[in-house]
Structure 1
Amino acid sequence: MAGTAPEPPETIEVEELTVACDGGGGALGHPRVYLTLVDGKVECGYCDRLYVLKPGTKIAGGH
């Protein structure tokens, strides 16, 4: 039985260490969750979107 392979999860480049994900798609998305990048990446547990730190991004040192 031939079928189409599912599309791979979306990868989004970001310039912050904390991102908000709601799955996109408005009402068809998921609850907004805040994710913290570890080692330059984090994956959403709801929609599998992968957030990666944009190459060359400089992160401020905090307080």
Structure 2
Amino acid sequence: MPDMPSPAPTETIMVHDRVAACDGGGGALGHPKVYLRLVDGQVICPYCSRHFVLAADAPAGSAH
């Protein structure tokens, strides 16, 4: 079975940590909170397609 294409990002959010939390931002209409690791400085939420990007001024080695 072929891989499904990734959905197009709907919103880009700059973050200062290599782990981002996403709950869809819609309150009760959002999705379960997930923690996403930014690989190569970015990641797309598999639920809502928000695009998280590591800010250029983020501290080196910023992660928990």
Gaps in structure 2 of 5+ consecutive residues: 1-8
Whole-Å separation in 1 of the counterparts to 2:62 and 2:55: 17
Name the residue aligned to 1:37.
38
Residue-by-residue CA offset, 1:1-48 (whole Å, 9 max, x unaligned)? xxxxxxx60100000000110000100000000000000000000000
Identity %: 56
- What's the TM-score, normalizing by structure 2? 0.77
| 1:57, distance to aligned residue in structure 2 (A) | 1.7
Matches within 5 A, 1:16-55: 16-55=17-56
Whole-Å separation in 2 of the counterparts to 1:60 and 1:51: 17
- What's the TM-score, normalizing by structure 1? 0.78
Displaced runs of 4 or more, over 4 A = none
Gaps in structure 1 of 5+ consecutive residues: 1-7
